[in-house]
Amino acid sequence: MVRKIGEEDKQCYFSMARDFYSSDAVDHEIPEAHFCRSFDEMMRSDNYMAGYIIECEGKAAGYAVLAKTFSQEAGGMVLWIDELYVKPQYRCHGLGHEFFSYLKRNMPDNIRRVRLEVEDSNVRAAALYKETGFKYLDYSQMIKEI
Protein backbone atom coordinates (compact mmCIF):
# COMPACT_ATOMS: atom_id res chain seq x y z
CA MET A 1 0.00 0.00 0.00
CA VAL A 2 1.15 3.54 -0.75
CA ARG A 3 -0.15 6.47 1.30
CA LYS A 4 0.65 10.13 1.84
CA ILE A 5 3.16 10.79 4.57
CA GLY A 6 1.80 12.29 7.79
CA GLU A 7 3.11 13.90 10.98
CA GLU A 8 3.01 10.49 12.66
CA ASP A 9 5.60 9.23 10.16
CA LYS A 10 8.34 11.73 11.04
CA GLN A 11 10.72 9.44 12.95
CA CYS A 12 10.14 6.54 10.57
CA TYR A 13 10.84 8.82 7.59
CA PHE A 14 14.01 10.18 9.24
CA SER A 15 15.25 6.66 9.93
CA MET A 16 14.66 5.52 6.34
CA ALA A 17 16.13 8.74 4.89
CA ARG A 18 19.28 8.20 6.97
CA ASP A 19 19.50 4.64 5.64
CA PHE A 20 18.97 5.83 2.07
CA TYR A 21 21.68 8.50 2.31
CA SER A 22 24.18 6.07 3.79
CA SER A 23 23.56 3.51 1.03
CA ASP A 24 25.18 2.93 -2.35
CA ALA A 25 22.07 4.40 -4.01
CA VAL A 26 23.42 7.91 -3.50
CA ASP A 27 26.87 9.38 -3.99
CA HIS A 28 27.02 11.40 -0.75
CA GLU A 29 25.36 11.90 2.61
CA ILE A 30 23.44 15.04 3.49
CA PRO A 31 22.98 16.91 6.78
CA GLU A 32 20.08 15.80 8.97
CA ALA A 33 18.78 19.38 8.83
CA HIS A 34 17.85 18.71 5.20
CA PHE A 35 15.51 15.90 6.31
CA CYS A 36 13.88 18.31 8.75
CA ARG A 37 13.33 21.01 6.13
CA SER A 38 12.01 18.48 3.63
CA PHE A 39 9.60 16.97 6.15
CA ASP A 40 8.37 20.42 7.18
CA GLU A 41 7.76 21.31 3.53
CA MET A 42 5.84 18.06 2.93
CA MET A 43 3.66 18.83 5.96
CA ARG A 44 3.14 22.47 4.90
CA SER A 45 1.62 21.63 1.51
CA ASP A 46 2.20 19.52 -1.57
CA ASN A 47 2.71 22.51 -3.89
CA TYR A 48 6.42 21.80 -4.31
CA MET A 49 7.07 18.52 -2.55
CA ALA A 50 5.06 15.46 -1.54
CA GLY A 51 6.01 12.43 0.51
CA TYR A 52 4.66 8.91 0.56
CA ILE A 53 5.09 5.90 2.81
CA ILE A 54 5.20 2.52 1.11
CA GLU A 55 3.80 -0.21 3.35
CA CYS A 56 4.02 -3.98 3.29
CA GLU A 57 1.75 -5.98 5.58
CA GLY A 58 0.95 -2.85 7.59
CA LYS A 59 4.59 -1.91 8.20
CA ALA A 60 6.58 0.98 6.73
CA ALA A 61 8.74 -0.66 4.06
CA GLY A 62 9.95 2.44 2.22
CA TYR A 63 9.24 5.99 1.20
CA ALA A 64 9.17 8.30 -1.79
CA VAL A 65 9.74 12.03 -2.08
CA LEU A 66 8.37 13.84 -5.14
CA ALA A 67 9.06 17.39 -6.26
CA LYS A 68 7.34 19.50 -8.91
CA THR A 69 8.82 21.97 -11.35
CA PHE A 70 7.83 23.64 -14.59
CA SER A 71 9.92 22.81 -17.65
CA GLN A 72 9.83 24.60 -20.96
CA GLU A 73 11.55 21.59 -22.54
CA ALA A 74 8.74 19.30 -21.33
CA GLY A 75 6.07 21.84 -22.15
CA GLY A 76 4.63 21.89 -18.67
CA MET A 77 4.93 20.47 -15.19
CA VAL A 78 7.55 17.85 -14.37
CA LEU A 79 7.20 15.45 -11.48
CA TRP A 80 10.64 14.65 -10.11
CA ILE A 81 10.99 11.42 -8.14
CA ASP A 82 13.61 12.87 -5.85
CA GLU A 83 13.91 9.79 -3.66
CA LEU A 84 12.50 6.27 -3.77
CA TYR A 85 13.70 3.95 -1.04
CA VAL A 86 12.67 0.44 -0.04
CA LYS A 87 14.21 -1.18 3.04
CA PRO A 88 16.49 -4.11 2.13
CA GLN A 89 14.26 -6.76 3.72
CA TYR A 90 11.31 -5.63 1.54
CA ARG A 91 13.12 -5.49 -1.79
CA CYS A 92 11.99 -7.86 -4.56
CA HIS A 93 8.44 -7.86 -3.13
CA GLY A 94 6.96 -5.76 -5.96
CA LEU A 95 6.82 -2.56 -3.91
CA GLY A 96 8.59 -0.49 -6.58
CA HIS A 97 6.04 -1.62 -9.16
CA GLU A 98 3.28 -0.92 -6.65
CA PHE A 99 4.59 2.62 -6.15
CA PHE A 100 4.74 3.33 -9.90
CA SER A 101 1.21 1.94 -10.35
CA TYR A 102 0.00 4.20 -7.54
CA LEU A 103 1.76 7.15 -9.13
CA LYS A 104 0.20 6.47 -12.52
CA ARG A 105 -3.31 6.22 -11.03
CA ASN A 106 -2.91 9.39 -8.95
CA MET A 107 -0.81 11.64 -11.18
CA PRO A 108 -2.23 15.13 -11.68
CA ASP A 109 -3.44 15.85 -15.23
CA ASN A 110 -0.99 18.72 -15.68
CA ILE A 111 2.16 16.54 -15.40
CA ARG A 112 3.97 16.26 -18.75
CA ARG A 113 7.09 14.36 -17.67
CA VAL A 114 8.30 12.22 -14.79
CA ARG A 115 11.99 12.32 -14.04
CA LEU A 116 14.39 10.62 -11.66
CA GLU A 117 18.08 9.96 -11.07
CA VAL A 118 19.81 6.63 -10.56
CA GLU A 119 23.40 5.80 -9.67
CA ASP A 120 25.12 3.62 -12.28
CA SER A 121 25.91 1.10 -9.55
CA ASN A 122 22.23 0.74 -8.61
CA VAL A 123 21.56 -1.88 -11.28
CA ARG A 124 18.35 -3.31 -9.78
CA ALA A 125 16.73 0.11 -9.45
CA ALA A 126 17.75 1.04 -13.01
CA ALA A 127 16.18 -2.21 -14.27
CA LEU A 128 12.93 -1.37 -12.47
CA TYR A 129 12.89 2.13 -13.93
CA LYS A 130 13.51 0.86 -17.46
CA GLU A 131 10.79 -1.76 -17.01
CA THR A 132 8.32 0.97 -16.03
CA GLY A 133 9.13 3.10 -19.09
CA PHE A 134 12.02 5.36 -18.08
CA LYS A 135 14.96 5.92 -20.41
CA TYR A 136 18.38 7.46 -19.97
CA LEU A 137 19.00 11.05 -21.01
CA ASP A 138 21.85 11.76 -23.39
CA TYR A 139 23.30 14.59 -21.34
CA SER A 140 24.87 15.13 -17.96
CA GLN A 141 23.58 17.40 -15.26
CA MET A 142 25.58 19.96 -13.34
CA ILE A 143 24.81 21.65 -10.04
CA LYS A 144 26.06 24.58 -8.01
CA GLU A 145 25.37 24.58 -4.30
CA ILE A 146 24.23 27.92 -2.87
Each residue of 80-136: pLDDT tens digit?
999 999 999 999 999 999 999 999 999 999 999 999 999 888 999 999 999 999 999
In degrees and rounded to multiples of 5, residue 50 shows phi and psi of -135, 145
What CATH number did the domain enclosing 16 receive? Answer: 3.40.630.30
Using alpha carbons only, how large is the chain's radius of gyration in Å? 15
Please answer whether residues 29 and 22 qualify as being in contact, where contact means their C-beta atoms are separated by less than 8 angstroms. yes
CA 90, CA 87: separation in Å to the nearest integer?
Answer: 6
Residue 53 has pLDDT above 90, yes or no: yes
Residue 139 within any structural domain of the chain: no
Q: What is the pLDDT of residues 56-74, one digit of tens each?
A: 999 999 999 999 999 999 9
Residue 137 within any structural domain of the chain: no
Residue 116 within any structural domain of the chain: yes
Residue 145 within any structural domain of the chain: no
Q: What is the pLDDT of residues 14-44, one digit of tens each?
A: 999 999 999 988 888 899 999 999 999 999 9
Residue 111 within any structural domain of the chain: yes
State how many domains the chain has. Answer: 1
Query: What is the extent of the structural domain holding 8?
Result: 2-131
Residue 141 has pLDDT above 90, yes or no: no
